[in-house]
A and B are shown apart, each in its own frame.
Chain A
Amino acid sequence: MLVLQGIVDGILAGGLYALMGSGLTLVFGVMEVINFAQGIIVVLGAYLTYVFSTHIGVDPLVTLLITIPIMFALGYGVYALLLRPIKRDRVIMSLLVMYAVAVVIEGCLDIIFGGTLVQVHAAYSTSSIHVAGLEFSDLYLLAFGLSAVLLAVLYVILYRTKFGRSLRATTQNPTAAKLVGIDVDRVSATTLGIGVGLGAAGGMLFGMTESFNASSSYDLISRLLVIVILGGFGSVWGAMVAAIIMLVVEDVVAVVWSPVWGQTVFYLVLAAVLMFRPQGLFGRLAVRAQ
């Protein structure tokens, strides 16, 4: 029963990490930009939720109506002002730029909020339901459900809209995309906006499930990068599967052995997968046609 509980907990928490990781992998797929700032963006989303819910009294869920547009604009602006002008050594330069963005945001959050750990609270934060001897935290059910809804929206955008088609085309061949009239810069800016917006939504849920400060971003980004590597850079589906694998492995190991070994066992699983599939579970060896 403990193992089953570990699997349930892992799947529910995995949904949240899938949401946070999907933004990272989506951005890489389109722009080949490793958004090193995704961790601090999640934390920024958590802080925005914290401010709106704690100081203004808005329900954390409702804050998404405010935070997602704000974070979308942030992502769009970062691309337009900082990434678009890069003409050479794009992968390395964009990594450095996003690292700089992360450092600046972290510094600002440190100045404003200090190092004290905070957490977002709501009425449903501590309640849970029991089914067949298993405990389902209301908060994690909410996190999983909201992640599923947002990822479904992302799916609809990617596969059922003209923008989604242009985004998938840009992912596969940016030069050919330009030659059919797609504004690749606009697609890229919008994609970074979506990625950062997904980070904000993940931040709201992260802030409710964990206590955090600005330094929490380092643990987050390392976990998100590992998820994206296991799933395959550029694959949104891969990120979802990898997030669930990571959290299930950690939670099951925690209950049958020790929480201390959770991450270690997961990294062994990761190494084993990469030996046979260096491109990750759903990645392509050649990400782009050119």
Chain B
Amino acid sequence: MLVFEGVFAGYGGGDILRGVDLVVEEGSLTCVVGPNGAGKSTLMKLVSGLLHPRVGRLEFKGRSIARATPRQIVKQGIVQVMQARNLFPELTVRENVELGAFLVSDGEVVRRRYAEVCEMFPIVGERAKDRAGSLSGGQQRMVEFARALMTDPVLVTLDEPSMGLEPRAAKIIYDSIVSMHRAGRSILLVEQNVRAGLERATHGVVMEAGRVRLEGTGADVLANPQMRALYLGGTIEEGRVASSTGVGAGAAAPPGAP
């Protein structure tokens, strides 16, 4: 459904992504992990249209989105929940969520979807008239999810959705992600929280230094000894992983589960 082929991209000071090849299958929950600087967030910016590839093929459902604007990408059914809190803090919760359907002109459709997301995320209805900025971090994430679903997207991309949340809030967020996936949406998830992400993923991807280094089912990737060396502190001191796979051991990040 979403295809990266030989993608190079960066911000003008050199490429962050250096030849990414990746396929996100329809109906999958694909989780991309990797140490800081691996290029995960850059990958997400490409999918949302905030950044364009310098070289390479980027297609969604067989159509190139390499030069598409964020607006065109939303129209094609891809929505993104960004890394940091990204509500409009001075607008009410309801205004924030309804803005998710900015490109939907049929008011009846907007009302119906609003009712649906209120059912899925009760906090939206409970705090509808409150300023979004007054909500806690976890509640704001819920509202962001609700806003993302207002377009009835085909693919939901989530950039480190549990970042900064306490474990209980993070678990609720992960349960919501699984619910969205079970409801038939494809999910592309970028996570620092390796175990939490890969345990729930149908497809796991490890990035390092701007390239995809390892792929498989979420469980297989999590169980892979190389992966464990990189993230779980098992055999990293041996150094053989770094030399045999090219994965930089020094960039390892601690795992954590919600």
Check: A182 CB closer than 8 A to any chain B CB. yes
CB-CB < 8 A to A162: which residues of B? 102
Chain B residue nearest in CB terms to A288: B89
Check: B55 CB closer than 8 A to any chain A CB. no
- Binary B-proximity of A160-182 (CB < 8 A = 1, otherwise 0): 00100110110011011111111
Check: B257 CB closer than 8 A to any chain A CB. no
Instruction: Categorize the interface residue count of chain A.
Output: 10 to 19
CB-CB < 8 A to A166: which residues of B? 99, 102
In the assembled complex, the Cα of A194 lies from the Cα of B156 at a distance in Å of 36
Of the candidates B82, B91, B147, which one forms a contact with A175 in the assembled complex, judged by CB atoms under 8 Å apart?
A: B82
Given contacts A168-B88, A289-B89, A290-B84, contact A178 B50 (CB under 8 A): yes
CB-CB < 8 A to B100: which residues of A? 180
CB-CB < 8 A to A168: which residues of B? 88, 90-91
Check B91–A178 contact: CB distance below 8 A: no
Report the minimal beta-carbon distance from B21 to chain A, rounded to whole angstroms: 25
Check: B240 CB closer than 8 A to any chain A CB. no
Check: B59 CB closer than 8 A to any chain A CB. no
Chain A residue nearest in CB terms to B132: A172
How would you classify the secondary structure of chain B's contact residues: helix, strand, loop or mixed?
A: loop
Check: B223 CB closer than 8 A to any chain A CB. no
Check: A135 CB closer than 8 A to any chain B CB. no
* From A162, A176, A182, A290, residue with most partner B Cβ within 10 Å: A176
Given contacts A165-B99, A175-B82, A176-B82, contact A181 B70 (CB under 8 A): yes
Check B82–A181 contact: CB distance below 8 A: no
- Binary A-proximity of B76-96 (CB < 8 A = 1, otherwise 0): 000110101111111100010
CB-CB < 8 A to A179: which residues of B? 48, 50, 70, 74, 79-80, 82, 86
Of the candidates A175, A180, A289, A290, which one forms a contact with B99 in the assembled complex, judged by CB atoms under 8 Å apart?
A: A180
Check B102–A172 contact: CB distance below 8 A: no
Report the minimal beta-carbon distance from A238 to chain B, rounded to whole angstroms: 14
Check B86–A175 contact: CB distance below 8 A: yes
In the assembled complex, the Cα of A180 lies from the Cα of B73 at a distance in Å of 10
Check: B103 CB closer than 8 A to any chain A CB. yes
- Enumerate A218-247 residues with CB–CB distance to B below 8 Å: none
* From A162, A172, A181, A182, residue with most partner B Cβ within 10 Å: A181
Residues of A within 8 A of B (CB): 162, 165-166, 168-169, 172-173, 175-183, 289-290
**What 4 A-B pairs come out closest when comparing CB atoms?**
A181-B74, A178-B70, A176-B86, A181-B103
Residues of B within 8 A of A (CB): 48-50, 69-71, 74-75, 79-80, 82, 84-91, 95, 98-100, 102-103, 147, 151
User: 18 interchain pairs (CB within 8 A)?
Assistant: A162-B102, A165-B99, A166-B99, A169-B91, A172-B89, A173-B87, A173-B89, A175-B50, A175-B86, A177-B88, A178-B69, A178-B71, A180-B74, A180-B99, A180-B100, A182-B99, A183-B71, A289-B84
